[in-house]
Amino acid sequence: MPPTVWSDALRLALTTFTVVPWPDRTSGGSGKPAPATGVLDRRAAGRAMALAPWLGALLGAVLGAVLAGLREVTAAPIAGALTVGLAALLTRGLHLDGLADTVDALGSYRDRERALRIMKSPEVGPFGVVALVLVLLLQTLTLAQAPVWAVVAAFAAGRCAITLACARGIPSARPDGLGAFVAGSVPRMVALLSAVAVAALAIPAVPGRPWQGPVVVALALFALLLLLRHLVRRLGGITGDVLGAATETVVTLVLIGLTLS
């Protein structure tokens, strides 16, 4: 595989999933992902989506370290809230935005075309607001007591949800946009191996119970597959918003599971 494909993949992954800029000639120096054109870009897209869990693990390591430091100087719930805020800052809040838009679309009970239009609307409806409040509250409360390695595992699993959602056989709901660019770009075996690796990464997440982390990750990712099946049936495929919703859903489920005693 040409080195430029991996360079493009890393650039796309970083600029899509984090605030890290990576200017290049194809993006006009903006650091934003270049438009999808040609076979090379599809290959880069697949590799970028396959890199997502490991960028998630790195993000989780940063957040876990910050969380541990904050616990030393302030109350645990405040440390959890500040860590949730930092996570949103480091990802531009894109995943949270996708969660709100997806829940609004599903909660509208409109037909496919109208639901997709709701997802593109800049407004956040009541369903989206409730989903955001619930997810942020749950993440804050669980991060207040989560071990550092649990944070790493949760954020890796959340980004593994993107890898699974982009596996071959899962279509795009629209002919354009991020969903169309990355849908079906990850080989199924790569997606499966990523899920297994992230489950293994979760072994140290719960001290004294090495089985709990892998089981929680497996259950969360299985729940994701059920959600994806519903979304494909309801919307016709994935969108960029669906990827964001998948991420936040799995992060939250894993954090809850890893903090159960």
* Residues 241/174, Cβ–Cβ less than 8 Å: no
Q: Which of 253, 194, 240 is closest to 91 using CA atoms?
A: 240
DSSP 204: G
- What local confidence, expressed as pLDDT, does residue 5 receive? 67
* Residues 197/218, Cβ–Cβ less than 8 Å: no
On the question of pLDDT at 111 being above 90, the answer is no
| pLDDT, tens only, 174-192 | 998 888 999 999 999 999 9
d(CA 251, CA 3): 32
d(CA 158, CA 258): 14
On the question of pLDDT at 37 being above 80, the answer is no
> How many Å separate Cα 187 from the centre of its chain?
18
Radius of gyration of the chain (CA): 18
Taking CB atoms within 8 Å and a gap of at least 24, the contacts of 113-118 are 115/234, 115/235, 116/173, 116/174, 116/235, 116/239
- What local confidence, expressed as pLDDT, does residue 14 receive? 87
Which structure tokens are listed for 256? 């809850």
Higher pLDDT residue, 251 or 3? Answer: 251
Mean predicted confidence (pLDDT) in 96-120: 91
Q: Which of 35-39, 103-107, 147-151, 231-235 has the lowest mean pLDDT?
A: 35-39
Mean predicted confidence (pLDDT) in 2-16: 78
Tell me the whole-structure pTM to 2 decimals. Answer: 0.90
